[in-house]
Amino acid sequence: MTHSILLVIEILGVGFALHLAWALRRAGLAAGIPVLAVGFAIGLINAHLPALAALREQVFFARPAMILGMVIWLGGWSIWGLRGVPGWVALSVSPWRIIFGAGLLAMGLAGGLPPAFFWSAALGDIAVGALGLLLLATGQAENRRALIAWNALGLLDLGHVLVLGVMHLAAFYGANPDVARLGLLPQFGVPAFIALHLGMLRALLIPSRARVSAAR
């Protein structure tokens, strides 16, 4: 059962990457798509290359180190490469947070994740995604204070998920070696969402030269 759920989550991860690339292109940020594609490829390799999978199981800090590397790669791209991300881009992909949260919930209820991890991680993702949809539906995509609060909440939730993962997943997988492991979601999805939040915060907190000149 868990293998089937994991396969669905992996396929949805591809859909998320394609949707994000489409949103960036529509926002006039197509120059960032190759970096996104490289990040996706690295995440896919980290998730499914047997040698790297074995390394993550043998070395306690290998899994968080790989995720941190992806966060730095995509976060740096988002903050400095894209020079900020428009609010509607991250809000438009917020339904994926709900979808992935539901996937984590399904995995956990099927016995594929420890309760100490999946309840909090799943419900947090669903809540952040639902709030993003609410902001988008109510025309708050340009509300600076609301967007800052939403991004801060999103980053707090993802940071909390990473901490929970370090605390609980290694022990759970060690005790349940036959359970299917999450792959593309932690290796690409989480870093990509973190990058979006960081890019949006840069755009909100550090006005571009164009906007400063217009204000003058």
SS3 of 207, please?
Answer: coil
The answer to whether residue 20 is domain-embedded is yes
Position 109, amino acid? L
- Average pLDDT over all residues of the chain: 81
Closest CA to 181 of 98, 62, 95, 21: 62
* Any domain includes 216: no
Count of the separate structural domains present in the chain: 1
Question: How wide is the angle at C-alpha 100 spanned by C-alphas 193 and 11, nearest 5°?
Answer: 100
Per-residue pLDDT band at 207 (split at 50, 70, 90):
low
Mean per-residue pLDDT for 7-28? 90
Show the domain range for 182: 2-207
* 215, pLDDT greater than 60: no
33 located within any domain: yes
Whether residue 198 lies inside any domain: the answer is yes
Strongest mean pLDDT among 1-10, 88-97, 116-125? 116-125
Residue 22 in any domain: the answer is yes
pTM of the model: 0.83
Q: Is 90 part of any domain?
A: yes
Q: Assess contact for 148 and 140: CB atoms under 8 A.
A: no
